[in-house]
Amino acid sequence: MAGFLFTSLVWYETSMGTGSEVDGWFRALEHPLKAEMERVREIVLGADDRVTETIKWKTPTFMYEGNIASFNPRAKAHVSLLFHTGASIPGNHSLLEGGGETARYARFDDLDDVEAKRGQLEAVVRAWCAMKDGA
């Protein structure tokens, strides 16, 4: 089943449920931190083979047994990655910001910051997967 997305004043067709829809989203993206967002994407997907991605809420969303995290492309001063139920992820993850009962955010200022936080990001994704597996 094909769908259509609208991003940065560009329409493009996507194949639903495949990484190619996210590839198309990134091709159409006009953002000052696009390279940083793409690197965060690589790290999240590489952290655990079970993690998949799709477009939800008009943005790339990472999933394993539920929604792990989504980009907030409206943030322009930094890359903002929303962990939808980040407060429930076990462990002490200094990468995750926020004090509410549910969501947490990870923030990346530039490529150097992404690389500096790579291990922390991988740990958060792995903790999510382990939690979902009941470990």
83-100 pLDDT tens trace: 999 999 999 999 999 988
Hey, where are the domains in the chain? 33-132
- Class of the CATH-defined domain 33-132: alpha beta
What is 63-95 written as a DSSP string?
ESSSEEEEE-TT--SSEEEEETTGGGS-S--TT
CB 44: neighbour CB atoms within 10 A? 22
Report angle CA 107, 112, 116 to the nearest 5 degrees: 70
Residue 22 has pLDDT above 70, yes or no: yes
pTM (2 decimals)? 0.84
Q: Give 97's DSSP letter.
A: B
